[in-house]
Amino acid sequence: MTQPEVSKDEIFKRLRDVLVGGFELRDEQLVPTARLVEDLELDSLDLVDFAVRLEQHVDLEIAEEELKSIKTVQDIVDLLYQKLNARS
């Protein structure tokens, strides 16, 4: 039995929980085009921590290369959408 497809909206909500709860970011900062480093001010240490939290939150493993390719919030949503639905 296959799991129902997870929508991008649902992924965005989960992502927002991680970023607001874990990094004290405000809701209005979290737009799809927001850049992680320049706009959300996540530094290299934050990005590592973010990957760990995200993995725990969505029960997925994110490779270092995948993490490096992520620039915006939308990039993460797309990556998680692809990985979560490939698993189902």
Partner 1 sequence: MTVTSQVAAPPVAPGAASRRVPSRRRLAHGWRALRTGVAFASFGVGAIVVAAITAVSARGVPARRELRTQRIVHHAFRLWLWWMVCLRLCRVSWIDGERLAGSGPRLVVANHPTLIDVILLLARLSQADCIVKTAARRNPFMRRIVARAGYLANDDGDALVESCADRIAQGRSVLLFPEGTRSPRGGLHRFQRGAAHIALKSGCPIVPVVITCRPPTLLKGQSWHDVPDGRPQWVLRVGAPIDPARYLDAGSTLPVAARRLTADLQALYEQGLGADEEHS
Residues that bind partner 1 (CB under 8 A): 21-24, 43-46, 48-50
According to DSSP, residue 2 is labeled P
46 or 78, CB closer to partner 1? 46
Least distance (Å) between residue 24 CB and partner 1:
5
Q: Exposed, middle or buried: residue 10 (CB in 10 Å: 0-12, 13-18, 19+)?
A: middle
Give Cα separations from 37 to 5, 17, 33, 53 (angstroms): 30, 18, 12, 17
Least distance (Å) between residue 65 CB and partner 1:
16
Least distance (Å) between residue 45 CB and partner 1:
5
49 or 75, CB closer to partner 1? 49
